[in-house]
Amino acid sequence: MMPKTLIPARLPVLWHTNSDNIVTIEYDKKFTRFESLLSKMLKSPKTLKRPLDNLNSHLWILMDGSNNIGNIISKMDLFFQEEIIPAEGRINKSIITFLDLGLITMINPGEEINWNIKKSVK
């Protein structure tokens, strides 16, 4: 488990919400050399649009650089109750996935965010 004092912060990626507050994240695909060649031949899109489920949409919005992991777990547990049990494990797993995708970073208390974390205008 990650230290609860760490603060997840969205990196500057395009994202927006729909009328149901479901978040969709848009980011560039990362290709290997072969995939890049294949992509050019097939004229495939160069960006991914990743719609999140309700739980991860809520998590994404909370990862604004002002909530540490402990606060996020408490807020998500209070909001989703039985739907998110075990809250700590599920939230840690989601945060690790966002980190692996390069969509968020972790900051320490007192560190400042000097990039745009706001949603995109559609």
The tens digit of pLDDT for each residue in 62-79 reads 999 999 999 999 999 999
* Alpha helix (H) residue ranges in the chain: 33-42, 54-62, 69-80, 87-100
Range of the domain at 74: 7-107
As a whole number of angstroms, the distance between CA 119 and CA 122 comes to 9
Cα–Cα–Cα angle for 91, 24, 4, nearest 5°? 20
The tens digit of pLDDT for each residue in 75-122 reads 999 999 988 889 999 999 999 999 999 999 999 998 888 888 887 765
The verdict on pTM exceeding 0.75 is: yes
Q: Which amino acid is at 89?
A: G
- Number of domains the chain is built from: 1
12 within a domain of the structure (yes/no): yes
116 within a domain of the structure (yes/no): no
Strands 23-28 and 47-51: antiparallel
85 within a domain of the structure (yes/no): yes
